[in-house]
Amino acid sequence: MSSDAAPDPFTDPLAFGQRMQVLRTRRGMSRPVLAGLVGRSSSWVKQVEYGRLQTPKLTMILRIAEALRVRDLSELTGQESMPTDLFIGPGHRRLPAVAAVINAFPLTASREAPPAEHLRARLAAAWAARHSAPNHRDVIGTLLPDFIRDAQAAARQAASAPERRAAQAVLAEVYSLAQFFLAYQPESALLWRVAERGMVAAQESEDPHAIGVAAWLLAQAHRDAGPEHFDAADAVTMETIRYLDALLPDGSDDVLAIAGALRFEAGYTAARRGDTGAAWGHWDRARRMAWRLPESYYHPVTSFSRAIMGAHAVTVAVELHAGGESVRQAAAADAVTIPSRPRRARHRIEEARGYQLDGQPEAALATLDKAFDAAPETIRYNGYARRIVLEETEARSPERRRRAADLAVRIGILAA
């Protein structure tokens, strides 16, 4: 190894600042960018990295961990005796069964494929169950093993080219369902596997809606991998938007909705970059697309609809670290109109982030309680919610510490 190579922060007992520098460098993030994300100066970041300042308090450590997308807090602190997952939640009890099916390599026709209409009905029922269940991962995890096997069999056993394309469209969406189950679990390789398989199946299907859904999820996987993957997320998003735009004049509501969902994803990534103009520009175009849909329409995969645009506005403001604007958008959004329980919980978490940015920690905790009531599994696997709760367990106010500790126990961060 050359003398100027970045050291591995997990082989030697490095100081906090050294670990922060190594992780920042690996994420391709400059000091000014990290400083902006945590509300400090680039000089402060440099002094921490060089050990000229003491290790920050837990509140700041959690914000640094969030900015660097650190999955386990011990990666940053070096304290292996107290591992704390942030952006990767606990492994679900149904994960081994789902993983076994994804990792399998079926070559023989050992099971007869169900009729295509049967698979489509199961798919509609699965999405409906996901949106209505508070423990949605448990519901999906129960369905996925047999569903993946049956959808794979249908694609292999199709007797004609049109049947094969239709089966591939269903298979692509089953993989999309699997991505919702796998997200933020400690098996990132599985997530990428189904994302790529979903994209291949969608392309084989030649179905615009299936292609749009697969691209929507693939772009999210790239973005969540960190700033160094934002360009890849944009490439997937914009290429698919160009493909779908040509089809919109004669397209269905579902095609319009997935195009609108992708347009918002472009804004989401722009907000992560800190590009305010592009972020709100994409959001506004997505909003206009949403208003072309029927008032009662709700996309079963992405939740794109008129009802979701207020929640999307909160997300843009939060990702831009605009606390006051986040709170203003939260007041304008109507969470009750979001029919999906996990999506409603996700919106509550985004609201809580806005309150935290705006210096309203009591409101943030109260909003996270609402998220837990809507869908406990959503908050249990959400890194932003976990960070806020952990931060508030160190609050000066005894009442806030008590409320935060109670919520931390309920979502599994602290033992009862």
Distance (Å, rounded) from C-alpha 148 to C-alpha 104? Answer: 11
Average pLDDT over residues 122-137: 94
CA 64, 70, 72, 74 dihedral sign is negative
Distance (Å, rounded) from C-alpha 385 to C-alpha 212? Answer: 29
One-letter amino acid at 176 equals S
Structural domain includes residue 327: no
Q: How many domains does the chain have?
A: 1
Average pLDDT over residues 290-301: 96
415 φ, ψ (degrees, to nearest 5): -80, 150
Q: From 258, 254, 336, 261, select the one nearest 297 (Cα to Cα).
A: 254
DSSP secondary structure string for all residues of 122-157:
HHHHHHHHHHH-TTHHHHHHHHHHHHHHHHHHHHHH
Q: What is the pLDDT of residue 13?
A: 60
Task: Give the pLDDT confidence of 6-37 residue by residue, as tens digits.
Answer: 445 444 567 888 888 988 888 778 888 888 77
Confidence band of 3 (pLDDT split at 50, 70, 90): very low
Strands in 207-315 per DSSP E: none
| DSSP element (H, E) containing 254 | helix 253-273
Structural domain includes residue 66: yes
Q: Among 52-61, 233-242, 350-359, 400-409, whose mean pLDDT is lowest?
A: 52-61
Q: Is the pLDDT of residue 1 over 50?
A: no
Average pLDDT over residues 309-335: 93
Q: What is the pLDDT of residue 61?
A: 84
Averaged pLDDT score across all residues of the chain: 89
Q: From 70, 75, 152, 147, select the one nearest 109 (Cα to Cα).
A: 152
Distance (Å, rounded) from C-alpha 326 to C-alpha 353? Answer: 8
Task: Give the pLDDT confidence of 341-381 residue by residue, as tens digits.
Answer: 999 999 999 999 999 999 999 999 999 999 999 999 999 88
Q: Is the pLDDT of residue 2 over 50?
A: no
Structural domain includes residue 28: yes
Q: Which residues contact 88 (CB under 8 A, 6 or more apart)?
A: 71, 72, 184, 185, 186, 188, 383
Distance (Å, rounded) from C-alpha 32 to C-alpha 20? Answer: 14
Structural domain includes residue 46: yes
72 φ, ψ (degrees, to nearest 5): -120, 125
For residue 120 the two structure tokens come to 């489509």
Structural domain includes residue 71: yes
Task: Give the pLDDT confidence of 386-402 residue by residue, as tens digits.
Answer: 889 988 888 889 999 89
Average pLDDT over residues 61-74: 78
Distance (Å, rounded) from C-alpha 255 to C-alpha 264? Answer: 14
Distance (Å, rounded) from C-alpha 299 to C-alpha 229? Answer: 27
Structural domain includes residue 98: no
Structural domain includes residue 360: no
CATH number at residue 33: 1.10.260.40
Distance (Å, rounded) from C-alpha 376 to C-alpha 127? Answer: 18
CA 365, 371, 374, 376 dihedral sign is negative
Whether 44 and 35 have beta carbons less than 8 Å apart is answered as: yes
Task: Give the pLDDT confidence of 91-110 residue by residue, as tens digits.
Answer: 889 999 999 999 998 776 67
Whether 346 and 268 have beta carbons less than 8 Å apart is answered as: no
Distance (Å, rounded) from C-alpha 16 to C-alpha 310? Answer: 39
Structural domain includes residue 63: yes
Distance (Å, rounded) from C-alpha 107 to C-alpha 116? Answer: 20
First to last CA, the chain: 46
Average pLDDT over residues 171-200: 92
Domain ranges, residue 44: 16-77
Helix-, strand-, coil-residue percentages of the chain, each rounded to 5: 70, 0, 30
Strands in 10-121 per DSSP E: none
How many other CB atoms sit within 10 Å of the CB of residue 277?
8
Residue 72, classed as helix, strand or coil, is strand
Burial label for 101, CB within 10 Å (0-12, 13-18, 19+), is middle
Distance (Å, rounded) from C-alpha 378 to C-alpha 171? Answer: 25
Distance (Å, rounded) from C-alpha 110 to C-alpha 318? Answer: 50
Task: Give the pLDDT confidence of 402-414 residue by residue, as tens digits.
Answer: 999 999 899 887 6
